[in-house]
Structure 1
């Protein structure tokens, strides 16, 4: 279901066809009116008849196309509204001119009413709404839609009404036409006229309201561009480009007109360029990938700014030369200005094009700078080479980039799209992977300059990939060493227990036998007894040392009880009553069975150390031990209800450092910190690598 804030409608196809037919009929009526009334071409131009009919016809075609293919998008219906309003004014213009000329008061009144009340809806209501809902047919989301939706729509509607009343209050709607200026013809009052409404504070207020609605439209386009994805940004660039062209065309023609025909008014025909805006909107909605819009922007902005700079230079040179040598020699002045402009043209064009290309295509024109951005990212020590992909996309304004190793994607950023291109990542003559990038929308392939920069970028990324592979190999070797060490300790413990300990126990029994024999009353019995006592003492001391070594090699509790029961036994020893009670619960998921020796020992040592810290250093009354096992890793942790984290600061000591080292040497990680509910220690120990070098005795 569409959001209630969406300005979207769904209408049957015949309605769109009917509105297009109405606009076409109005355009044909315009042509017939011109022919029947014999309206001169100059009068048709100066009365805005030509521009109204042209803009209305273009909006009819554009709105019809959008409404037919996207019936739920309000944009098409709003453009059809512009078409009907514009062409309605054009249709009555010849008859208004004739009624004024012949003095037909009744015909003048009704034609003036239609003339002044129709097209203001286009500029005051339909077109601002079209800009606000472009390109998806709904207002922008987020806070703007929640807080400003209805006030904004109310302002736009009020603007439409204000424009109708303002233009209806003008008693001389055809004043730009020769012979229809005030004093030459009687007033042509509309039935909606409120005399004086178009002048003074009211007229100025309506102009401010009109400007505010279009400013709101510009703001929404900026919001859409900043918050939207790649597709939305390209869509927004189409009407913006059309608007820039319209502004430039009107400004240039007006400047030339003021020089060529000073005092003759505004070049009305330049308003035909406004038809480019609905064309841009239609392309953005239906075929936004037709061309690379950023390339068009690049060329347009470059040559617009270049033209303005050269015209300004020409005018400045002419003015300076005229002031220096006087206005007598116009040819010399023109030649001097032309020479200056010609000399400045190419340097300005090159620098300006470079600046615009940097804004639209990134640093592809400066390979050193582009590669430096990647190497600078690598110098900060990213966790993975894939972390430099945002810098690659930013440097060249690319929509997507990825790293692939052995055909598998190990890093990705942006929105994946076709076509794509790949660049091998090599080191020491060996291919380690690929850098894959998405081609910009509207382009079939990357430009040679893009490829050159990406090939340079591939060099440091390949080195980083090689370094990551070496680091992974070192870490794997370290984990294998730790695993082998613990397995060897487990084997030594078993051998000491089953071998040497048994032998020493037998020797102790023999010593007891010697002592027993010596007690039989033999003459040298005291000496034999003393010797037996020495043997038994030595053996007992050796047995104690062996048991201690056995426990250090592999905790006896683990060997006898397993991880869960060993931890539960240790927790029972730490559970206490008064003066500060502490209750410890051990929770497991019944999946903890036989574990690699390295993982089992590390988990036990971490939990024992964490529980000891709780018992010694916290004022907790409850603690919970968590032991969970999956196919990938073993997760162990301790949580207590000690004072909140904002009351206690943990100072890392030997215990925390030891726990973290035990986790990291297996390729795992440990998180230990106070929290609002007490304190927590959580370790994640991978099982796969720890089992690689497991020794089977």
Structure 2
């Protein structure tokens, strides 16, 4: 078995053994209290209840983390806290009994365990847990802290071991009431006041460094790390508020009676929060917990402070006898200030965790401003969407295909359609925050508002991309047409003219020899070649711009083409120009004229080939800044011949290239093709 495999086998058993040791020490504590008859007040003031509770919770939490995440040092550090805290709790009843009984040997050993066990938890294991949270590894820049933290942990043990009265907070065990209980580790005859103050200051700095490390991890971490960090931070805030609040109230309600030790039970929330963060950080919406907890903790503290301050002021003004007046005045002030203060405080806290969802105008304005100033493409606004609502992920999709994203995609995603002019142009997809099953209605309302400017921007971007593609296609088509013309000129006209040149040289040579017969033959060949070259040139010129349009105009050119179609034998198709537009159409832009001619020629050709019609009517007119051209026939109207093919596609492309529309469909009385080509847009 490899060392790694052996370690994997040993770790679960070791974790279970350490957790069982912590729980066993807690049970020994209970037995010791029952056997020695230690009073509840003594158990409370000697930190026995707090140490036993915190140690038991750390044993359970550390055991879970070490079992499921054995490579994470947090589980093992919490197990260290458990063993150290509960060891102190386990010997507390026996230390009290030994001091009362005056047994020097028992006092020495119980005082040694009492003073040397719990400082390891407070001075070493907990600070390290804060520094390595949540992955169990020290950040690269914080590794230098390991040496001073370990050294200060040892110093803490020595400092507390030098205290000759470890149970001084317990009534009847203060200095002068009992004999000193010296630890084996105590250095007697040396004033440890200054070293103790120094080590306590270093300990405070260590905890501060741990909190700073958590804040840095939150700011630089991904969505998962931020979710994890919020759990112990919330527990720490609750602990601080509970301990400080109870101490403040205690000092007012029972001045001079000391510190309310029982409030330290709140520390047990920290290992619970660490365990949830490591194993199930998505258990609840931690942001919502933060929002509500911080709001009501701060609100409660502020109202209590206000109440105490008003009572104090009124008592000083009216005298201590009028307690009812001071209470009534304080109640009125607190009642009047409660709701406005709560609303403002809740808004501030919600903004911290949920962004501007309580202020839709501000949220939409931030996105709109980003679109107007800093976003070259719609997808560039996605980070602003995430920031505005503190969302983990946002993305755009067009026709079901991704068009950009920001953040890390979570398991749950909600989709918002992006519309422009009543038409869906894309989708805005956003990730649901960890711990939430769905977005809050206020989130949805803000995102629906954001979808409006994003939809407009996405539509504009789509149009811009389409224009760019059209430009590229136009350039490609132009170059392709130039290549074809070059090939035709090279293979046709250039070859013919080269041959004509050689034949002309031969004619000159034969003329010198007076070979009239051969000269006549070459003359015929030259005439035939030149005639063919002229035909090729006319064909190319006609393809570039129909010569009939140049010579006759649109209406007459269409009439000539229709007459050619109706001269067949037999000639079943009769042609009619419904509206003779001579003098009404006037001069047209070249592009419109060519497109109209090509569409009408193709439509008439289709009628002659496929419509089984006896009559075709052509309509050409200008109306409302458009040239309207159409062909109607009296075919059977059963849809035969209307399958989309090259001809229909070509007509539609010619119309759309100019920003126009083409309608082609069978009718109950035959078939109809109509194109509307704008004049002003092309002329501009």
TM superposition score normalised by structure 1:
0.70
Of the three residues 222, 227, 230, the one matched with 1:234 is: 227
Structure 1, residues 254-284: CA drift from partner, whole Å, max 9, x if none?
A: 1111111111111011111111111111111
Q: How does 1:157-236 map to 2 (within 5 A)?
A: 157-195=150-188, 199-236=192-229
Of the three residues 248, 263, 266, the one matched with 1:270 is: 263
Equivalent residue, structure 2, for 1:443: 436
Query: Are residue 25 (structure 1) and residue 24 (structure 2) matched?
Result: yes
**Alignment coverage as a number of residue pairs:** 511
Deviation at 1:11, TM superposition (A): 4.2
Equivalent residue, structure 1, for 2:103: 104
Counterpart-to-counterpart distance in 2, 1:87 and 1:458:
57
Deviation at 1:184, TM superposition (A): 1.0
Query: Are residue 366 (structure 1) and residue 365 (structure 2) matched?
Result: no
Change beyond 3 A, Cα 1:337–1:9: farther
**Larger deviation, residues 362-371 vs 218-227:** 218-227
Equivalent residue, structure 2, for 1:342: 335
Alignment partner of 1:444: what SS? Answer: coil
Counterpart-to-counterpart distance in 1, 2:18 and 2:98:
28
Query: Are residue 352 (structure 1) and residue 351 (structure 2) matched?
Result: no
Change beyond 3 A, Cα 1:9–1:172: farther
**Larger deviation, residues 15-24 vs 120-129:** 15-24
Structure 1, residues 453-484: CA drift from partner, whole Å, max 9, x if none?
A: 11111111111221122112211211121112
Gap runs ≥5 in structure 2? 1-6, 515-529, 531-536, 538-684
**Larger deviation, residues 503-512 vs 323-332:** 503-512
Equivalent residue, structure 2, for 1:495: 488
Q: How does 1:85-484 map to 2 (within 5 A)?
A: 85-140=84-139, 143-144=140-141, 148-149=142-143, 151-195=144-188, 199-380=192-373, 382-484=375-477
Structure 1, residues 477-516: CA drift from partner, whole Å, max 9, x if none?
A: 1112111211222223233334444565566567767877
Deviation at 1:243, TM superposition (A): 0.6
Does the 8 Å CA contact 1:291/1:442 hold for their aligned counterparts?
A: yes
Equivalent residue, structure 2, for 1:58: 57
Q: Larger relative contact order (C-alpha < 8 A, sep ≥ 6)? A: 1
Deviation at 1:519, TM superposition (A): 8.3
Deviation at 1:309, TM superposition (A): 2.1
Deviation at 1:89, TM superposition (A): 0.8
Deviation at 1:320, TM superposition (A): 3.4
Alignment partner of 2:281: what SS? Answer: coil
Counterpart-to-counterpart distance in 2, 1:106 and 1:201:
29
Does the 8 Å CA contact 2:156/2:196 hold for their aligned counterparts?
A: no
Deviation at 1:345, TM superposition (A): 0.7
Equivalent residue, structure 1, for 2:68: 69
Counterpart-to-counterpart distance in 1, 2:24 and 2:351:
48
Does the 8 Å CA contact 1:166/1:198 hold for their aligned counterparts?
A: no
**Larger deviation, residues 121-130 vs 266-275:** 121-130
Gap runs ≥5 in structure 1? 1-7, 522-538, 540-545, 547-697
Structure 1, residues 18-72: CA drift from partner, whole Å, max 9, x if none?
A: 2122222211221121122111111111111111111111111111111122222
Equivalent residue, structure 1, for 2:479: 486
Deviation at 1:10, TM superposition (A): 8.2
Change beyond 3 A, Cα 1:403–1:10: farther
Structure 1, residues 84-127: CA drift from partner, whole Å, max 9, x if none?
A: 11111111111111111111111111111111111111111111
Does the 8 Å CA contact 1:9/1:73 hold for their aligned counterparts?
A: no
Counterpart-to-counterpart distance in 2, 1:408 and 1:44:
67
Counterpart-to-counterpart distance in 2, 1:125 and 1:308:
31
Does the 8 Å CA contact 1:92/1:111 hold for their aligned counterparts?
A: yes
Does the 8 Å CA contact 2:311/2:326 hold for their aligned counterparts?
A: yes
Computing the radius of gyration over CA atoms, which structure comes out larger, 1 or 2? 2
Counterpart-to-counterpart distance in 1, 2:464 and 2:65:
56
Counterpart-to-counterpart distance in 2, 1:50 and 1:320:
38
Query: Are residue 39 (structure 1) and residue 38 (structure 2) matched?
Result: yes
Change beyond 3 A, Cα 1:9–1:174: farther
Counterpart-to-counterpart distance in 2, 1:381 and 1:80:
52
Counterpart-to-counterpart distance in 2, 1:202 and 1:412:
56
RMSD after superposition: 2.4
Alignment partner of 1:12: what SS? Answer: helix
